[in-house]
A and B are shown apart, each in its own frame.
Chain A
Amino acid sequence: MRPFEYVSPNTRSQAISLLGASRGNAEILAGGTDLLTLMKDDVVAPKRLINIKGINDLHGVSSNAQGFHIGALTTLGDLADDATVRQNYPALAEALAEAASPQIRNLATLGGNLCQRPRCWYFRNGFGLLPKNETGKELVAEGENRYHAILGNEGPAKFVSPSTLVPILVAYGAKIRLEGPKGKRELPLEKFFVIPKNEGEREHDLRPNEIVTEVVIPPASDVRAAHYEIRQKEIFDWPLAVAGVALKMRGSNVQSARIVMGYVAPVPWPSPEAEQALVGQPINKDTAQRAAEAALTNAKPLSHNAYKVQLARVALRRAILKAASGGVS
């Protein structure tokens, strides 16, 4: 790891001021579970690290009429143990329990989870987010792409968005709040993720001097939700496909649905096609299967990852059935 200077501000405005207006010189340090690895591998090499954990008002959770507010520095471990999460957002609780490992969850923060960088092995080995060789040829398309994107991969970005919590958070309708020198802004969480077109662009709508301050999840008492992920190992492994589903029912039919896939595209991938296929229908094996098929109709697998199309379909079908049966598989 290269040398850097370390500073630990106590307020948001100090942190914002210390960040500076250009990218790459300074990095925000939250739990460090991703950032320190990127620094050890020299993928990022900040001159200054800004530890934001001393900013008290970024910690902890609270509830009001808008919903459940999660401070960006809340650890995944504390969130997994939180009574409100378990009671009101059980599908999120399940996603948290399956994320990483107990030791990582004790350090990793929700803000850091949303801002973590892709696991693409080209990126992690210093070839950039949109890896090319000297002649400008894209490396992923003809290279080792078995864990890469099957949707949204038309441009040079072929990595997959790495958080396993984001699909279910987006399905629950979560919003993200950011703060920078010009003040605060709020976005639907899915809008925070962008597909970079040029090397040097970030995969988040996050300016160099902005910090993520909180996530707000609307009340979900009338929502039936489920999280489902498929991994090669039972646990402590990066998934191959993730699905987050939130249904509102009218009687035994679906009134509205929010369906989001993870690990299939460079961004979390909501599927209006699957949502449409479900609205007005009862949930059963056939309707779940039809929705899952609709979600993957436009999939364009790369040379080594066609298997992911079927895995994504299965994850989605199972998540839909699980949501309808009250979150149990």
Chain B
Amino acid sequence: MRDEDENQKNPNDSPESPGVSRRDFLKISGISVAVPLVAGPRVIKAAGQEVRVYGPGKVPMEFAINGKNYKANLEPRVTLLDALRDEFELTGAKRVCDRAECGACTVLVDNKPVYACAMLAIEAQHKAITTVESLTRDGKLHPIQQAFVDNDASQCGFCTPGFVVACKAFLDKHPHPTPEDIRRGLSGNLCRCGTYAGIRKAIAQVAQKGA
């Protein structure tokens, strides 16, 4: 155990990580190391107390997604979006900008819509994650999904899963929205095909019927 009290050490001074090591470089350039190292956390001391340091290699993680338990060994730098898509094959959330700018990756974390590309997987552990995959139940579309179909609210479809999740979260929070509420509330999703008019109608349809 190393003591890192009051700034006498910082990660770069540490003998364990002198700048970018050859191992780091291999990871950056995407060449995989022969034996994937999974290591538990390292315990160090900070301000007199023990804290756990994870990574930079793979660490065991656990997630609660759509009410089910998922496990994977991931590096701390993996985003929630990449974990969903690449580890758990939940590919509903799309990777479009990967920069928190388009909404295609929208999922719910503890019932709030967020961009899965803007959150690290390691931070999403022990939170309730809901993806678009959970909305269809027993082969029956969720009312907002049905409303997308009824109102021709999808063209190429790439933005659609993110929009559907954002619409669901919006309607849960604003069951009786004004047109202005809809415009503001759905402002975090972009559609290159321009299906906005259909989406606004879909929301209005569900708001009228009640979801």
**Contacts from A to B (Cβ < 8 Å):** 1-11, 13-22, 25-26, 29, 31-33, 36-37, 39-40, 46-49, 51, 53, 77, 97, 100-104, 106-107, 181, 209, 234-236
Tell me the bound Cα distance from A204 to B166 in angstroms. 34
Across the A-B interface, the 9 shortest Cβ-Cβ residue pairs: A20-B10, A101-B188, A3-B56, A6-B76, A13-B47, A47-B11, A21-B7, A48-B11, A17-B46
Interface 1/0 per residue, B179-191 and A, CB below 8 Å:
0000111011110
Q: Does B17 contact A (CB under 8 A)?
A: yes
Tell me the bound Cα distance from A7 to B42 in angstroms. 10
Q: Quick check: B9 and A20 within 8 Å, CB to CB?
A: yes
Q: Tell me the residues in window 5-32 of chain B with beta carbons closer than 8 Å to chain A beta carbons.
A: 5-7, 9-13, 17, 20, 24, 27-28
| Beyond known contacts A14-B46, A20-B10, A20-B11: 6 more, CB 8 A cutoff | A1-B77, A18-B51, A20-B7, A26-B10, A103-B166, A106-B114
Q: Does B123 contact A (CB under 8 A)?
A: yes
Q: 11 A-B contacts, Cβ less than 8 Å apart?
A: A2-B24, A4-B76, A5-B54, A6-B76, A8-B51, A20-B10, A21-B10, A32-B123, A103-B103, A181-B6, A235-B183
Q: Quick check: B188 and A3 within 8 Å, CB to CB?
A: no
Q: Quick check: B170 and A104 within 8 Å, CB to CB?
A: no
| Cβ distance A210 to chain B, nearest Cβ, rounded Å | 11
Tell me the bound Cα distance from A67 to B170 in angstroms. 32
Q: Quick check: B115 and A103 within 8 Å, CB to CB?
A: yes
Tell me the bound Cα distance from A234 to B187 in angstroms. 9
| Cβ distance A56 to chain B, nearest Cβ, rounded Å | 15
| Cβ distance A1 to chain B, nearest Cβ, rounded Å | 5
List residues of chain A with CB within 8 A of the CB of B175. none
Tell me the bound Cα distance from A9 to B5 in angstroms. 13
Q: Quick check: B119 and A6 within 8 Å, CB to CB?
A: no
Across the A-B interface, how many residue pairs have beta carbons closer than 8 Å? 155
Tell me the bound Cα distance from A209 to B4 in angstroms. 13
List residues of chain B with CB within 8 A of the CB of A13. 46-47
Tell me the bound Cα distance from A118 to B116 in angstroms. 23
From the candidates A5, A15, A39, name the one contacting B56 in the complex (CB within 8 A). Answer: A5
List residues of chain B with CB within 8 A of the CB of A14. 46-47, 49, 51
Known contacts A3-B24, A6-B54; is A104 also within 8 Å of B7 by CB? no
List residues of chain B with CB within 8 A of the CB of A4. 55-56, 76-77
List residues of chain A with CB within 8 A of the CB of B20. 2
List residues of chain B with CB within 8 A of the CB of A22. 10, 12
From the candidates B5, B7, B49, B100, name the one contacting A37 in the complex (CB within 8 A). Answer: B100
List residues of chain A with CB within 8 A of the CB of B109. 106
Q: Tell me the residues in window 37-58 of chain B with beta carbons closer than 8 Å to chain A beta carbons.
A: 46-47, 49, 51-57
Known contacts A48-B11, A104-B115; is A7 also within 8 Å of B51 by CB? yes
From the candidates A6, A16, A32, A235, name the one contacting B53 in the complex (CB within 8 A). Answer: A6
From the candidates B52, B76, B166, name the one contacting A49 in the complex (CB within 8 A). Answer: B76
Q: Quick check: A17 and B184 within 8 Å, CB to CB?
A: no
Known contacts A3-B56, A5-B76, A102-B185; is A17 also within 8 Å of B47 by CB? yes
Q: Does B99 contact A (CB under 8 A)?
A: yes
From the candidates A21, A51, A101, name the one contacting B123 in the complex (CB within 8 A). Answer: A51
List residues of chain A with CB within 8 A of the CB of B51. 7-10, 14, 18
Q: Quick check: A6 and B55 within 8 Å, CB to CB?
A: yes
Q: Tell me the residues in window 157-211 of chain B with beta carbons closer than 8 Å to chain A beta carbons.
A: 166, 169-170, 183-185, 187-190
From the candidates B5, B24, B113, B117, name the one contacting A106 in the complex (CB within 8 A). Answer: B113
